[in-house]
Amino acid sequence: MHLMNRIYIVEDDDSIRQLVLYALKNSGYEASGFPCAADFFEAAQTQAPDLLLLDIMLPDMDGIQILRKVRSSRLSSIPVMMLTAKGSEFDKVQALDLGADDYLTKPFGIMELLSRIRALLRRTAASSSPSSAEEGSLRCGPILLDRQRHLVTCGEQEITLTYKEFELLAYLLQNQGLVLNREQLMQAVWGFDYEGESRTVDMHIKQLRHKLDEAGGLIQTIRGVGYKLDAGR
């Protein structure tokens, strides 16, 4: 099923880049590697990838800057996995808050990398091909989410969300009025195999509230439990 998936890796360490490319191609993916941001963006202008593997420490533009640029461009919906030696909780939360979909710390095992790639591509495919229960529009107050067009509006204003922010808002809308704990949100949005901190949810909720402006107040914090989206607040 993944034979058509195109994966790009931006990594300035030649040995790591070549090892990952070898593993990806051996697993049936179409893969290309780039030592710097400039080469990646040039290639992405011609052909966008289905998934991006991104190092943080790079010579021309660091991975966080690349991530910011990707999430504010026509490439914004592409899932991004960070591959980096920077493994502190702060680094992980910063990358996830900016829209990274997963984070793997070096040194990593190739089998784990491939497993995470498969899981991320499955979740992306499920999002772009929603079930009948998820098709169409979801609304709460002035917030309108259109799954088929991958579009969110608040009143007359279009809201630009990252892939994970969109999925988080969709899940809140599907379950509006219900209190959802952080574990439920992590499993639904990041997947059962995601090993992340609960603060990831909090940071994404904070971003959602900020982007939704006044309507962000509809996302209520239920102290000691989790969150609830409720227009009747």
Q: What is the pLDDT of residues 54-110, one digit of tens each?
A: 998 898 899 999 998 998 888 888 899 998 887 776 777 777 767 788 888 888 999
Condensed to tens digits (0 to 9), the pLDDT of residues 123-145 reads 777 655 544 345 578 999 999 99
What local confidence, expressed as pLDDT, does residue 52 receive? 97
Q: Which of 115, 114, 96, 113 is nearest to 104 (CA)?
A: 113
Spatial neighbors of 10 by CB under 8 A, at least 6 apart, are: 33, 34, 35, 36, 37, 40, 52, 53, 54, 55, 58, 63, 66
Mean pLDDT of 144-159: 89
Cross-strand pairs, 66: none
pLDDT of 203 above 70: yes
CA pair distance 170, 74, nearest whole angstrom: 21
Number of H-type helices and E-type strands within the chain:
8, 12
Q: Which of 72, 69, 32, 36 is nearest to 160 (CA)?
A: 72
What local confidence, expressed as pLDDT, does residue 36 receive? 95
Which of the residue ranges 5-14, 35-44, 125-134, 182-191 would you say has the lowest mean pLDDT? Answer: 125-134
Mean pLDDT of 156-182: 90
What local confidence, expressed as pLDDT, does residue 198 receive? 60
In CATH, which of 3.30.413.10, 3.20.20.150, 3.30.360.10, 1.10.10.10 is domain 137-229? 1.10.10.10
What's the pTM?
0.66
Q: How far is CA 29 from the centre of its chain?
A: 20
Mean pLDDT of 116-120: 89
Hey, where are the domains in the chain? 6-128, 137-229
CATH 3.40.190.10 matches 6-128: no
